[in-house]
Each structure stands twice: as C-alpha cells, then as structure tokens.
Amino acid sequence: QQQQQQQQQQPPWEDQEELPQQEQQQERAQEASELVLESDRVEITDRFASFLMHNNLVPASFWSRCLQQDVYAALLANERRRRIRELSAEFTRDPVGFVDGVVHAFGSLEMQRLLARPLNVTFQNEPGSGPGVTREFLQLAVRSLIEVPPNTDGGGGGGGGAEAQQPLWECDPELRTYWFRFAGDPGQPDALRALGAMFGHSMLSKNVLPVAFPPVLFELLLKGLGSRLARSRFSLSDLALVCPAMARSMEKLLEYDGEDVAELFTLDWPRAEELLADNRVEYVDAYVQWYFFERYAPQVSPMAEGFRSVVGSSKLLRTLVRAAQLEQILCGGEAPVDVEAIKSGAIVEDWTKRDAEYLEGFWEVMRGLSESERRSFVTFVSSCSRTPPRGWQDLGLRVQKSGTGDERLPTAFTCFTLLLLPRYSSPEVLGARLRTAIADTEGFGLS
C-alpha cells in the first residue's frame, strides 16, 4: 500500500536517473519478497503476478523458497502423502571415510530415485542434528568432493594411474573458480553424481556453496534439466571464464590472417584438420561448442543426473530460472572485500620500521574505499575481483616499496599479486594516487 501511494504521488520510471531508478526497483523488490516470505498467506493479485514476470528483480531468497516449495509439492503429489519422509543419514568425520560415504549414499544409481527428500544428517558420536548440522554437512561434502581424490574402489567405474590420485576438480588461480581437472571420462561417475546431488540439496536447504564455479556450469545443469532457458550455444567469452589461456589463443587465431594459420595453430580435437584461412570464425565457434558439449560431457552428464534427481521435479526451475539466477541461489552474492582479512595475509617488502606508520596509513586508505573501489583494487593487483576460495586472507597481497615521489602512481604485477607502492608525502596524496591507479581497472577480458 505504501508503494502504491508513492506511485500515485510520483509516477515510476519518469524523470528519474537510470541508476537511482534501478536501485529503487531493487529495494521495492526486496521489501516485497520479505513481506511474502514472512507471511502465512499471500494473495497473488494481478499486480503481484505482473511483478513476478520481471524475474530479474526478484531476489534469490524468494526464488530459493519458491523452488523448495515446488519440489516438495511435486514429491507429495507423487507419493500421495500428507507429510514428506526425510532422508536420514549418518557420516563419519574421517576425511577418506566421509567422501566414500557421501559417494555411496548420493552417487550410486540405485539411490537416485530416493534423493528428492529433505535431508536429516548426523555425524557419528555427535548428538547434534537439525538444519544447522545439515548445512555443515553440505559445506563439507561439496568441498571434499572437489578437493579430495575419490576412492577408485568405490567410485563407480574404474579410473587409474595419475588421475586416480588427484581430485576431479582444480581451481584456476586467475579466475578463482573450479572446473574439471581432466577432459574426457575420468571414470568416477558416482562421485560426480554425488556432487550434483549436493548442489540440489544445497538449493533445498538454502545452503551457499563454499566454492565458486564458472557461469557456464550452471547453464549446463539447467540444460540437463531440459530447461527452455538454458543456452544452446556458447561463445569465446564463455571459454574465457573457464580457460583464459585457451581463449587468448583463440582470439589470436581469429586475428591472424596468414595462409599458414593451420600450421601455426594446432589443436587436439576431432576437427583439427579443418582449419583454413577463410573459415577461422566458424572453426573457433565449432571448437567452443565441442569444448563444452562433448569434451566434458562424460563429467557434466552424471553431475547433471545427480542434480536432476533432487530438483528435477521443479517445473519452476525448468521454465523460469536462468543460469545467472541459479548461480546466485547456489553461490550467493560475492562476499564483501574484507580489508582486515587481506591485511592479515599480506606481506610487506623493502619497508623499514620507520615506515610502519606510513603502511598503517595505506591500510586506513583501504578501509576508506567504497565496496566498488575495493573490488577495483583487488582486480588491479590480481586481475580478478572474485573472493579467493578460502577467503580474503588468501589473496596473498604483497606490498613492495617503490621509491618516492608524489607524481608517481602505484603499479601492480597481477601474476604475483604484487603492489608496487611509492612513498608519498601525505595520506591524502596516497589516497588520491591509489584511486587514480585503480580507476580504469578491467581485469582479464577479451578485446
């Protein structure tokens, strides 16, 4: 009602600047969603239904609640019950036994039909239970399935040699996201299926995933559900968010116009012999589609199967949710840049004890930056604004003294997260020069 009165006094979307208008819309959306989530009964009026059609305005918390209700409603309808039976399980905290237990409980084919239920997890010899313990379990399970090599004796299908001794995922230090370590079939479908199920249960339990993944993974998960909103083609910019080095090579291939292009750019894939000087664009496009839809299909397919086993009954997820929204629901928003955490893990080089007060002035300037300026600073020193997998204390910032002079600007070597900071005459000059240096930061991208 308050929003209606405001709209009568000042018509929306008229005579307002674009940025304040967007902020107003987001604030109204957040307020409306909180009212809905806190109410026992909500009347879906024509106006509210019209608001829901603008799904980019709807907060992730609202989508998450709706998806949870959608899955449970479908489960009740299928089982013809008034109450949903829980999926109860007990796990050990021993790292190896924990991973084996998760893979066995959530990755085997015979368990897939039983996974679309609320979880109730306990740990051996521990009395605690309930939603908090379940969310702790999901955090441990996701991180363990990513970082701990699965047991080949119980992983469901072979795998050997070096691949058997390594995790199935690896973190790209440039992007700070996880992607499949091996191309092709690593022989661990149960482990991948279990991870997909953990994604599904994280959605139902409102658990935020402890690590980040490229946006394309969420597109592929939606495609595995048969979503009409999942993209059917990918681009070079998608490849850049998975494998920056390969994307840069593809960009150089597109720029090269010599007749010997096939001799200079050799790729290991089924259509490698088809490259010609006059089909470079089509060749790169075909490679990108193969990279995502075929090269990693043996890993994406079981992971999507596990995800589908938990939330595949949600019509809402298949018809209205886009990949960016799914990523926000599962991963949450980016954690604010924590200056104190960065400071705790930082290393200073070539400074003396007499510089201690000056360095504290640098951190005071950092504390005074806005959130967007802090993001720009992180990109300036590391080429990526994303939170490190284990938190801002792992940014690994090195602050090295770089001479004196108010006319100089700070510079950075992103490969080493190294900030070359001159000594300025005052904190005011330091703040001004630092803001100037980070103002045009872009990070990694394709020209």
pLDDT of residue 264: 93
120, amino acid identity = N
Q: Tens of pLDDT along 378-399?
A: 989 987 787 886 778 888 899 9
What are the mean pLDDT values of the chain's consecutive 10-residue runs (447 residues total)? 44 38 60 65 77 73 82 79 81 89 92 88 86 87 89 49 72 90 87 96 85 93 95 95 94 94 93 94 97 95 96 90 89 84 94 94 96 91 78 90 94 89 95 91 43
pLDDT score at 173: 84
Nearest one of 103, 325, 301, 117 to 221, comparing CA atoms: 301
Whose CA is closest to 213, among 173, 175, 177? Answer: 177
What is the C-alpha to C-alpha distance for residues 25 and 23, in angstroms, rounded to an integer?
Answer: 5
pLDDT of residue 69: 85
Say how far residue 401 (Cα) sits from the centre of its chain.
Answer: 35
* pLDDT for 82: 67
pLDDT in tens, 209-250: 878 899 999 999 999 999 999 999 999 999 999 999 999 999
Task: Count other Cβ atoms within 10 Å, centred on residue 165.
Answer: 10
Q: Specify whether the backbone of 306 is left (phi greater than 0), alpha (psi in -120 to 50) or beta.
A: alpha
In sequence order, the β-bridge partners of residue 423 are 404
- H/E/C letters for each residue in the chain? CHHHHHHHHCCCCCCCCHHHHHHHHHHHHHHHHHHHHHCCCCCCCHHHHHHHHCHHHCCHHHHHHHHHHHHHHHHHHHHCCCCCCCEEEEECCCHHHHHHHHHHHHHCHHHHHHCCCCEEEEECCCCCCCHHHHHHHHHHHHHHHHHCCCCCCCCCCCCCHHHHCCCCEEEECCCCEEEECCCCCCCCHHHHHHHHHHHHHHHHCCCCCCCCCCHHHHHHHHHHCCCCCCCCCCCHHHHHCCCHHHHHHHHHHHHCCCCCHHHHCCCCCCCHHHCCCCCHHHHHHHHHHHHHHHHCHHHHHHHHHHHHHHHCCCHHHHHCCCHHHHHHHHHCCCCCCCHHHHHHCCEEECCCHHHHHHHHHHHHHHHHCCHHHHHHHHHHHHCCCCCCCCCHHHCCCEEEEEEECCCCCCEEEHHHCEEEEEECCCHHHHHHHHHHHHCCCCCCCCC
How many Å from the N-terminal Cα to the C-terminal Cα in the chain? 48
Instruction: Name beta bridge partners: 180.
Output: 169
CA atoms within 13 A on the CB side of 418: 9
CA distance 392 to 342: 5
Cα–Cα dist 76/207, whole Å: 23
Residue 201: predicted pLDDT: 93
The strand pairing partners of 178, in sequence order, are 171
Query: Measuring CA to CA, which residue among 254, 292, 250 is closest to residue 267?
Result: 250
> Closest by alpha carbon to 437, among 416, 424, 391, 338?
424
Q: What is the pLDDT of residue 80?
A: 65
pLDDT at 79: 67
Q: What is the pLDDT of residue 444?
A: 40
pLDDT at 81: 63
Q: What is the pLDDT of residue 132?
A: 80
**What is the pTM assigned to this prediction?**
0.73
